[in-house]
Amino acid sequence: MQTKILIIDHNDSFTFNLVQLFEEIQDVEVNVLNVGNFDLNMCSSYDAIVLSPGPGLPQDYPAVYELLKKFYTLKPILGICLGLQHIVHFFGGALYNLDSVQHGKQSAIFLLAEDVLFKNIQQPVLAGLYHSWAAAKNKFPDCLEITSQTAEGVVMALRHKKYPISAVQFHPESYMTPNGKQMLENWVKVL
């Protein structure tokens, strides 16, 4: 049986790299809907939802807030980059603007807690970064757990303590994340 995954595209050039990686995973069907052109009823038939990377901040995309409100208890959700920021914002956390923009940089990230995304992946993990905003640890939602960070302490991955919600600040679809496909496969295996 195929797992149906919906990717909400935030008008980002990386989205189709993400689609390609998911399509390489056995028994996965992927569909993409643009963030400006979907309604919540269109999301009901999917097994899981991926919030893609993209420009801007979560408050620029009110439809995603409504999507999270409707589905966070019902469907597995994976946030990538802006997707992680959506999840933090939705659950009442804050973001901050980094002192140094991290566009096209590779960084080692370190696990703080067990996380299915990193199963069977050697530590530290190399990850491709393309962001200028990050989750603020001092205003981090209690319902979420930080599972990895950079050596400088920037949040790189999280999971919800009760629901099947995961997110990464880095880009698993980037060539600078050598184990990115394995991370996505790990997520799909637990759907």
Residues assigned a catalytic role: 81, 171, 173
Bridge partners (DSSP) of residue 133 are 97
What is the bridge-based pairing of β-strands 3-9 and 28-34? parallel
What is the distance between the alpha carbons of residues 152 and 43, in angstroms, rounded to a whole number?
Answer: 37
Which tokens hold the place of 154? 């920037």
Count CA atoms closer than 13 A to 65's CA, side-chain side.
Answer: 10
Q: How many helices (H) and strands (E) does the chain have?
A: 4, 9
Rounded to an integer, what is the distance from CA 140 to the centroid of its chain? 16
